[in-house]
Structures are given as C-alpha cells and as structure tokens.
Structure 1
Amino acid sequence: MHKTQIRKEFKEFHKKLWPGMKHYPGGAMIYNIARHSRARSSRKKLHQLDTWVSIYDEYTSWFHSVSISLQDPLKTDRYNEKLYLNRSLLVLSVRIFSDLLAIRSLCLDGFDVQAKNILRSTVENIDVLCAIIIDPDISEKFCDANDPIKSNEFWHRFVSKGKLGKFQIEKVNSMLKDRDAADSLIKMMYKYNEVLGAASHPCFLRRSFQP
C-alpha cells in the first residue's frame, strides 16, 4: 500500500477515535491525546457523580487518617510490642491510600478499565489489612516478606486462591455464630471480584472489537 494511502487511512482512523482533535503530522502527540481524552471525559454528564466522588473521598480520607495516626507510635517507640502490627498497618494503609488516589484520577479522566486493574490489587491489600487486624501474628510474617521470594511465599500462604476470603468467613462466623450470615456477608463483600478479574483479563479487550 502506498505511503500516501496509509497516511490518509491513519488520519481517518484518528478522526473516528478522537473526533474534534487536530491531527499532527507524523502522528498525534501523546500529550494532546491525553489532554483531549481528559476534556472529553469531563464533558460527560454522569448521574450523581459529585455525590459518589464525595462519598469516595470520605472513604479515602479514612485511610489517610489511619496512615498519619500510625506514624507517631513508630517514631516514638521503635521497640514496642506492637511494632510489627503498626508497621504493617502503616505500609498497607499508605499503599491503599495512594491506590485510591490513582483510581480517583483515572475514573475522572475516563480510564475506568485501568482503574479496575489497580482496584483489583487494592482489594487484596485491604484483605491483608483486615487479616492482620483480625490476627496480629500475621504482621510479623508480613514484615519479614522483604524480598521477592519471601513475598511470593507470603502471597501463596495467605492470599492466593481465595484464602483471605475463607479466613474472614471463619472469623466472622466465630463472631456471629451463624454460618449462613457469615457466608452472606463475605459474598456481599466480594460480589464485584469477578468484574475486576474480567477487566484485567486479555480476553476482555476482545469485546471492544466485536461487530
């Protein structure tokens, strides 16, 4: 195919993909594509978006407050009996807070699929946080997982194949004394996990190209 024809078809494809955006010789500049995508997303009128963002910000601010409150004990007493617990909760809360900020920015810029990919790992971090709160002994093993091999061992021992969900079911069941209620609560907590998993799967992209 002639270069002129290729350039013409590229311009047509570009107009369909980013309508209203000027085409630059040699291809569109990434900066301008990103700016255009952000502007296009901001024009979308989503139902009660401001309300949901306010609720989300309240939730995010809680993790920020937790991370701030945990820094002081670690500074004042590095050898207290809750050192591993406080250190684990601090690391996880800071990571979760950072992820939530990134998810917020991506969603407002229209990158909801990318936000779901980050959210999937954020949910796992929240699960580990809950597990450590329920069983503080896990915190020492978490802090000891300071290299790739130990981190992988920790993940397979406590996280992989739904282990955290099963762990939480047993703990909730012991508190409620009602297995059905515990199962229902955990199912409600994890009902969106399949959506998050699908969003990160390569086959999910195929839907975009179906006729």
Structure 2
Amino acid sequence: MLRPPTKSIRSAMREAWKGVDGGSRDFRPVSKLLNAIKADLRTESINVVNFPVLNWCLLLDEFIVFFSMIFLRLRGGNETSDAKELVIKFCCGSLCAQIGCIRSVVMAGFDVQARALCRILGEHIDLATVLINDPLLCAEFKAAEEQEQANRFWHKNLSKGKLKKRLYDSVVTVDGELQQLLNEIREYEKQEELMQSSALHPSYTGIAMPAFSGASYGLAPMGIFGVVDSLSVRPLAYAFHKCSFLILFRYPRWLELLPQLKEFDAEDTAKRLEFLLRLSTYVSDHQDEYPLKSAIESEG
C-alpha cells in the first residue's frame, strides 16, 4: 500500500541533492527552468497559435459543444432501455473528451503525441458512424460489457479492417459531389493514418519525430519541450474532418435522435446540428482555404 511521505517532497529532494552536490549550493527545482523554456517557445510561436491553429480549434470547439449536448440531454441509465440511445449517448461523451484532449495537447506544443490520440479518436468516430446506423449492432455492442465479451465483439465485427469495411459499405451516396468528397476523405484518411502509425511505432522515425516539432521556425531541437508550429494543425484538421464525416454522412440518423430530447433541448440541438452540417459543407467547399490535402502537401 502506498503511503504519503512523512515530510514534504521538496525537503526530500533538497536532502537528496545535498548528497549528490555535497551541499555546495542550494537545491532549485528544475520546474522553474522548464517553465521559462516553455514561455520562450510560446513567444516564438505566438503567430502560429494566433492564426491557423486557433482557427482549427474554433472549428473543433463547435463539435465539442454538440457532442456534449447530446451526451447531457439524451436519456440514459434507468431512464431508457433503448440500447442505441445509451450507446450513442456514451459515444458522444467519449468523443467530447477525446477532442478536448487532442486540442489541449496540440496547444501545449505536442502535436506528434496528439497523433496517437487521433488514432484512437478516428477508430471511435468510425465506430460511432457504424453504430448510429445499426440498432442491432448497438444492442450487441452494449451487451459486450465484460472484457471477454468485448474481445469477441471486436474480433467478430471490428478487427482486421472489418470496421472500415462496415463503415464504407454503409455509406451510400447519390450525389456526385458528395461521392467525390467521400473519395477525397478516404484518401486523406489513408495518408493521415500512415503518418499516425509512424508516430506510434517504436521505430527510429517514431522516436525522432518529437524533436522536429518547430522545424519550420528553426526551433526543431526544442520540440521535445513542446512547440506549436505550422504542422501543429495536422491533428486538429484530422479530428475536424473525422467529426465532419460523422455529421455529413449520418445527418438523418442524428435527426432521428432529437425527439428523444426535451422539446426545448431538441430545438436547440437541432439548430446546432444544422449549423455543423453547414459548417462541414462550407469547409469541404472551400478547399483552397481549408484543403483536405494541405497537411500532406506541407510535409512534401
């Protein structure tokens, strides 16, 4: 059993330092040094933070609020026995937390580490996109609460490319422009997920990537302390396009959920949903300003 120390950690650190340094000088926590380094790096990258990165944060914040509204306003627990309602409710809560985490990590200057979180977010959004379209699968998913059941569900329905296949098999488009967008998104996802894999795998490339954050501003060696630079938008853009996919290609399913909310909540949430549809469509229509391929092209 862990017990709290009998004296302050600072005192313990000071005594430990005396044993190393022979008491030649007072112990000073390195946290002050780290804070000073991070403050300098924030000053260096302030223009990047103020424009492209914050623009993507503004877009993502809209999804955070929408998913939180569904999570907080949709019935749950003893209020409903509908498996789909419960599953979508907790999917939205999970997505809200994950997007917020990615946003915070990127703003702290750790976009390479955020790519690992994007990998999780991408899988969860793919899962939500499939589940919201399939009440029977929702029931099976909810029933698989124990670890062994969850593993069986994963191997049966989601592993080894099954999730992606279910996802794209379930997306039917009759609109030519929407089909073109779908094709672009699929290619974009493929490229992004390859880059995410590079950041995750225990390879030379993977361990070297954090040091090169800030390379476009001549701050590459300092990337290990967290630097926001032009490539920091990449995880944010990926998160946005994944969220947009869930709205654009499942809009009717979201509408079906609204009657389960209270009258005022349903009206307010419906407005937010339509706004996200318009926002996602706007970004996809203005690819010169917000191109799906911009991050790929910027890294050559």
Taking structure 2 as the reference length, what is the TM-score of the superposition?
0.52
How far apart are the structure 1 equivalents of 2:71 and 2:108? 27
**Alignment of 1:56 onto 2:60:** yes
Counterpart of 1:162 in structure 2 is: 161
CA displacement at 1:155 relative to structure 2? 1.8
**Alignment of 1:65 onto 2:64:** no
How far apart are the structure 2 equivalents of 1:207 and 1:50? 23
Amino acid at match of 1:131: V
How far apart are the structure 2 equivalents of 1:41 and 1:59? 29
Name the structure, 1 or 2, with higher relative contact order (CA <8 Å, separation 6+): 2
How far apart are the structure 2 equivalents of 1:111 and 1:193? 17
Counterpart of 2:131 in structure 1 is: 132
CA displacement at 1:199 relative to structure 2? 1.4
Root-mean-square deviation (CA, aligned residues, Å) is: 3.1
Residues 99, 118 of structure 1: 8 Å contact kept: yes
CA displacement at 1:77 relative to structure 2? 3.3
How far apart are the structure 2 equivalents of 1:196 and 1:184? 20
How far apart are the structure 2 equivalents of 1:50 and 1:208? 21
CA displacement at 1:59 relative to structure 2? 2.2
**Alignment of 1:117 onto 2:116:** yes
Residues 41, 110 of structure 1: 8 Å contact kept: no
* Shift in CA distance, 170/32, structure 1 to aligned 2, threshold 3 Å: same
Flag as ranges the 4+ runs of structure 1 deviating above 2 A. Answer: 24-29, 31-43, 47-50, 73-79, 175-178, 188-191, 206-210
Amino acid at match of 1:172: V
Counterpart of 1:195 in structure 2 is: 195
Residues 63, 94 of structure 1: 8 Å contact kept: yes
Structure 1 gaps, min length 5? 1-23
CA displacement at 1:207 relative to structure 2? 5.4
Q: Secondary structure at the match of 1:48?
A: helix
* Shift in CA distance, 185/131, structure 1 to aligned 2, threshold 3 Å: farther
Aligned pairs for 1:1-211 (under 5 A) are 29=30, 31-32=31-32, 35-36=35-36, 38-43=38-43, 44=45, 45-46=47-48, 47-70=51-74, 73-74=75-76, 77-79=79-81, 83-173=82-172, 175-176=173-174, 181=179, 184=183, 187-188=186-187, 190-191=189-190, 192-203=192-203, 204-206=206-208
Amino acid at match of 2:79: D
CA displacement at 1:28 relative to structure 2? 5.8
CA displacement at 1:49 relative to structure 2? 2.4
Paired residues, number: 179
How far apart are the structure 1 equivalents of 2:128 and 2:102? 19
How far apart are the structure 2 equivalents of 1:50 and 1:27? 35
How far apart are the structure 2 equivalents of 1:161 and 1:177? 30
Q: Secondary structure at the match of 2:119?
A: helix
* Shift in CA distance, 196/25, structure 1 to aligned 2, threshold 3 Å: farther
Q: Secondary structure at the match of 2:109?
A: coil
CA displacement at 1:143 relative to structure 2? 1.0
Amino acid at match of 1:51: N
CA displacement at 1:85 relative to structure 2? 0.4
* Shift in CA distance, 78/190, structure 1 to aligned 2, threshold 3 Å: same
Q: Secondary structure at the match of 1:161?
A: coil
Q: What is the identity percentage for the equivalent residue pairs of Structure 1 and Structure 2?
A: 22
How far apart are the structure 2 equivalents of 1:189 and 1:35? 37
Amino acid at match of 1:153: R
CA displacement at 1:206 relative to structure 2? 4.3
Residues 199, 209 of structure 2: 8 Å contact kept: no
Amino acid at match of 2:65: S
